[in-house]
Amino acid sequence: MSNKIKAAGYITQDNDGSAIYGAGLTEAEAWAETAEAGPFFGGGAGDTITNQEAFDTQFDIWPATQALIDLVKERGGSISWYHLDGVACTDEEYEAAQ
């Protein structure tokens, strides 16, 4: 039986990979941090797209533990992480919950 992982906020993930682009206590905070990474590109010609279109088509948002949010703030979003019970968490949280 696993320990329950609890969400404290949110992360945004590039839906083509596992990079985390934003983290915050609310979805809006996580997305605002993601939007700072723009401009975003879409379509075959590499045209820029709006932040909202990028959010709708290129990113997923996940509930996340405070430890993962803190890790993203400290190290950036190119880190290893897991989903457990629908919540994004650190490797250490995942291992402890198994």
Per-residue pLDDT, 60: 93
Domain that holds residue 34: 9-97
| In-domain check, residue 59 | yes
Output b/e per residue, 58-85; b: 16+ Cβ within 10 A: bbebbbbbbebbebbeeeebeeebbebe
| In-domain check, residue 3 | no
| In-domain check, residue 64 | yes
Using 70 as the pLDDT threshold, list the residues of the chain that sit under it: 1-3, 43-45
Per-residue pLDDT, 76: 92
| In-domain check, residue 31 | yes
Per-residue pLDDT, 1: 42
Domain count, the chain: 1
| In-domain check, residue 49 | yes
